[in-house]
Structure 1
Amino acid sequence: MDSVNMAILLLLLALICLFLTLNSRGKSHLPPGPTPLPILGNLLQLRSQDLVTSLTKLSKEYGSVYTVHLGPRRVVVLSGFQTVKEALVDQAESFSGRGDYPVFFNFTKGNGIAFSNGERWKVLRKFSIQILRNFGMGKRSIEERILEESRFLLESLRKTEGQPFDPVFVISRSVSNIICSVLFGSRFDYSDERLLTIIRFINDNFQIMSSPWGEMYNIFPSLLDWLPGPHRRLFRNFRGMKALIARSVREHQASIDPSSPRDFIDCFLTKMAQEKQDPLSHFQMDTLLMTTHNLLFGGTETVGTTLRHAFLVLMKYPKIQARVQEEIDRVVGRSRQPSLEDRPAMPYTDAVIHEVQRFADIIPMNLPHRVIRDTAFRGFLIPKGTDVITLLNTVHSDPSQFLTPREFNPNHFLDANQSFKKSPAFMPFSAGRRLCLGESLARMELFLFLASILQNFTLHSLVAPEDIDLSPLSTGLGNVPRPFQLCLRQR
């Protein structure tokens, strides 16, 4: 080996030693974990095609609290119900930060309600919760909107006349219209190009973010910014969505009456006008666009995806579908629509919906959290600013909380008397300070839409029930159900 090659080798070894030395500083109180490589981190121990499974397996080796490196980024991973609860609920304030999520940060730059931190996040969350409540969130008025929308949905479903169809757009239009009515002031006709464009952007981005491309971008964003691939479509979709929202904001600006706000955008614009002289105000135009996008994305995709999982489950287990229909017929009948007042008298239906959410596990890794201060946790010291992944999939499959966690079993949410039973390990909307602010709306939609559909139709698969595959098509940000078609038979 000549002297030049020897010098290069020694330099590389020195750099690696420097990296390992610097990386080990401040880690003496961090949870244990696999030894990272320079730049790559623990990539060799992880399967980018299924990061959730890889992280779950590492928890079996290193325990319910461990450290992993996603590329150069150091992350603490929490698994199991007790551990996640201790962090998000018992130490909610310490774990209330939002961690890095590059596919979203590329678009939001840390703005908007879902991906902001500090005082901005607190102000935006408080404002958004108040405005959403003013426009009916969790109240009778929003229930009436959902019931109206379900009538439009049923009319659309009848037009399928028992023929096979893909439910993605049919369901997404109805679900999206609920949050659209709150944000934009009115629902859209099902053929309205703006509504269809919103759904295309959101569905496409959810699938990409739940694919290996989305996972790899989150690990190596600077590298993938230079490479071709489906991840580039993510940002085109984001820009398209931003332009669509901006168009609606301009329309609102031209017709706004501050004394009589029509929707969320009107209220935000009014707040912007009130604070326009304050240079430190968090109410700026870009914040409005990002917050509206966050609410629109969350209010469209998660409920629509959950309902598609529910359809697959009910077709795979026709006896469960029949029992839900029997309960609907007994409690509601056929002459009126189901209402939220019926839910306490429909424990089995409620249990099935909860079990769908647990079993489908729509957001298995949760959105990343961040500790906002040096935090003592289970004998370790997690430094301020450390990102934390809470594996909700391990919460929803914790055998100490669910008797048959790998099986679809509505009895997980029923007691010995067949009354509905809550579970503290039910966390599809996360928990603690970052609990999804649309939880009450989502729960209302899932119950009213599903009960209305099953009151009027029986779901039939194009394949035998035993051939229906409930495993997700892809797993990343979300668990995306496999594409399928179904037929509806009028009851």
Structure 2
Amino acid sequence: MDFAILSILLLTAFISYLIMIYGKMLQKRGQLPPGPIPLPIVGNVLQVNTGNIAQSLMDMSKKYGPVFTVYFGPTPNLVLCGYETIKEALINQSDQFGGRGPYPVFDKYTKDNDVAFSNGEKWKELRRFALQTMRNFGVGKRSIEERIQEEIQFLMKEFRKSNKSPIEPTHIICRSVSNVICSVLFGSRFDYEDKVFQALARSIDDNFKLISSAWGTWYNIYPEIMGCLPGPHKQIMTNHEVLRPIFQEKIKAHQETLDPNNPRDYIDVFLIKMEKEKNNPASNFFMETLIMTMHTLMYGGTDTVTTTLKYSILVLMKFPEVAEKIQEEINQVIGQSRPPGTEDRKKMPYTDAVIHELQRYLDITPLSVPHLVMQDTQIQGYKIPKNTPVIPVLSSVHRDPVQYKNPELFNPANFLDENGCLKKNDALMPFSAGKRICPGEVLARMEIFLYLTTLLQNFTFQPVGKREDINLMPTGSGLLNIPHKYQCCMIPR
């Protein structure tokens, strides 16, 4: 056959295929809430800033309302904006909106074997097990508080070594926070100079930066295509794999010393559960789910708190008057003779309000990890079919002008009443909401309070340059809002 004729036939077939796919897209679009018209193959990707998806979606909501449809590639996604809308979905209809939508940057590695990215009975059972085990090992209780306090003192020792010289605090904070979840999972902490531990913490920190970049966004939209292309996104799976041999070595050591009557940590309890269910073919407790559940808990227990702390230091250097008021409250309630404890929080309304405002203003998780509609439902008059991916824009809750006056400004008064007491606001969702709320929320809240108050009890943060030059805009905004790198001086008090 003549090459020209063959080329024409192939081109005609390709165009016909595109028309057919596009026709199906438009047909399905007519059954969903309104939104921007998608293009073939790319959908609405060209209308979205992949470096700051949350802001792009909030801009779209001004035209299409709080519930609308956006296509990432050929896949339609339901977008939810504003406190009332997200509350209606994630809390009031938690069963209907309680599934986990596709998220290839993790799915490709965990393969439905973990506590965050799985669905159905497996997810429910693994989540119940993780929550109960963490409670049994002190999460939310005095015992875990003492572990955190001990770990913070190691961090204080490291910061004092700087001797008022400029330091970049990110990596050492990451190692310190990571050690807390390590103590729950492994029953012990690592030395900060341990090379294996440094590789573990570095791979997690690096992955959050990659996943929160435009490269991570493109990987989530076109995983098969991006998997074949070169680029920084290729490092994501490599970083995931760094954790596996570390976990395997820890598990092997636990197997050799396991006492079923005296479990020491998460690994021991999981191994005991595996043994009990070894003859159950439907069991969700096997070696791969142990490794992947540890993987998810390690990620969740490390970088969200780390990012909150390192971003908070930046904000408090930008607004030193806020840091000074916290230090005044620390002097009145705690003093300098003992470390802060969680009970102190009740007597420190200003500090508590600042922490709430930091979580709102910094908006560390601008987008919830995608949800999935588990059964046909309705929201704000729209019919939503089962298996529709859902993107709750958490930034829209924290920037909701109905809930906060001047939401673009940093103002701890957002969480203080006229008497100076803490004023809670349900329109604060730093850990998401509903059945998919972060399982480590209790631990994270405890850590943020204890770390921040102990840091301010011992040090005053001073910027290297002018305060007015401090840049609070994130350098990446995807899964997390990532602050710019910075140096500061830790001045002992």
Partner of residue 421, structure 1: 423
Partner AA of 2:221 in structure 1: I
Query: Cα deviations across residues 12-34 of structure 1 (Å, max 9, x unaligned)?
Result: 55334322332244544411111
Q: How far apart, in 1, do the equivalents of 2:310 and 2:460 lie?
A: 15
Question: What SS does structure 2 have at the residue aligned with 1:137?
Answer: coil
Partners of 1:351 and 1:414 within 8 A in 2: yes
Q: Which residue does the alignment assign to 2:372?
A: 370
Equivalent-residue separation in structure 2 for 1:3 and 1:335 (angstroms): 87
Check conservation: 1:78, 1:388, Cα contact below 8 A: yes
1:48 deviates by: 2.0
CA distance in 1, matches of 2:10, 2:277: 59
In the TM superposition, residue 164 of structure 1 has moved relative to its aligned partner by 0.6
Query: Aligned residue for 2:127?
Result: 125
Residue pair 1:87, 1:95 contacting (<8 A) in 2 also:
yes
Instruction: Specify the code of the residue in structure 1 equivalent to 2:442.
Output: S
Per the normalisation by structure 1, the TM-score is 0.97
Structure 2 equivalent of residue 234 of structure 1: 236
| Residue ranges of structure 2 left out of the alignment (5+ in a row) | none
Q: Residue 142 of structure 2 corresponds to which residue in structure 1?
A: 140
Q: Is the 8 A contact 2:25 2:74 kept in 1?
A: no
Q: For residues 61 and 5 of structure 1, do their structure 2 counterparts lie closer, same or farther at Cα, with a shift above 3 Å needed?
A: farther
> What is the aligned partner in structure 1 of residue 156 from structure 2?
154
**Is 1:453 aligned to 2:455, yes or no?**
yes
The answer on whether the counterparts of 1:52 and 1:365 sit within 8 Å (CA) in structure 2 is yes
Distance, in Å, in 2 between the alignment partners of 1:111 and 1:401 is 38
- Among 28, 31, 34, which residue is 1:32 paired with? 34
Q: Give deviations 1:317-343, integer Å, cap 9, x for gaps.
A: 111110100010011111111111111
Deviations 1:284-332 (A, max 9, x none): 1111001001000110100010001110010001111101000100111
Change (3 A) 1:186 1:91: same
1:283 CA displacement? 0.4
SS at match of 1:403: coil
In the TM superposition, 1:336-347 aligns within 5 A as 336-347=338-349
Preserved contact between residue 172 and residue 301 of structure 1 (Cα < 8 Å): yes
8 Å CA contact 1:110–1:117 kept in 2: the answer is yes
Alpha-carbon separation, structure 2, partners of 1:41 and 1:450 = 43
| Alpha-carbon distance in 2 for matches of 1:434, 1:291 | 15
Report the RMSD for the aligned CA atoms in angstroms: 1.4
8 A contact 1:29–1:380 mirrored in 2? no
Name the residue aligned to 1:20.
22
Q: Which residue of 2 aligns with 1:380?
A: 382
Match of 1:300 in 2: 302
Q: CA deviation at 1:3?
A: 7.9
Structure-2 separation of matches of 1:57 and 1:110: 33
CA distance, structure 2, for counterparts of residue 56 and residue 152 of structure 1: 42
> How far is the alpha carbon of 1:10 from its aligned partner?
5.4
Give the whole-Å Cα distance in 2 for the aligned partners of 1:196 and 1:7.
57
User: How far apart in 2 are the matches of 1:63 and 1:17?
Assistant: 29
Indicate if the aligned counterparts of 1:397 and 1:406 stay in contact, CA closer than 8 A: yes
Letter in 1 for 2:182: C
Q: Does 1:114 align with 2:116?
A: yes
Alignment of 1:53-452 (within 5 A): 53-452=55-454
Q: Output one character per residue of 1:98-136: Cα deviation in whole Å (capped at 9) or x when no partner.
A: 000011111111220010000000000111111000000
**Taking structure 2 as the reference length, what is the TM-score of the superposition?**
0.97
Give, in whole Å, the separation in 2 of the partners of 1:121 and 1:134.
Answer: 20
Match of 1:488 in 2: 490
Q: Distance in 2 between matches of 1:304 and 1:173?
A: 9
Going from structure 1 to structure 2, the CA distance change for 1:138 and 1:13 (only over 3 Å counts) comes to same
User: Quick check: 2:50–2:217 contact (8 Å CA) kept in 1?
Assistant: yes
Give the share of equivalent positions with the same residue, in percent.
50
CA apart distance, 1:49: 2.6
Counterpart residue identity of residue 198, structure 1:
L
Take 1:16 and 1:86, find their aligned partners in 2: how far apart are those partners?
37
Residues 27/462 of structure 1: CA separation in 2 closer, same or farther (3 Å cut): same
Q: Is the 8 A contact 2:104 2:223 kept in 1?
A: yes
Q: What residue identity is the alignment partner of 1:66?
A: F
Q: Following TM superposition, by how much is the alpha carbon of 1:47 offset from its aligned partner in structure 2, in angstroms? A: 2.1
* 3-state SS in 1 of match to 2:166: coil
Q: Could you report, residue by residue, the CA deviation over 1:432-460 in whole angstroms, capped at 9, with x for unpaired residues?
A: 00011111111111111111110111000
The offset of 1:6, in angstroms, is 7.1
Q: Distance in 1 between matches of 2:255 and 2:282?
A: 22
Q: Deviations over 1:392-419 (max 9, x none)?
A: 0010000111112101110111111110
Q: What is the alpha-carbon distance in structure 1 between the residues aligned to residue 240 and residue 387 of structure 2?
A: 27
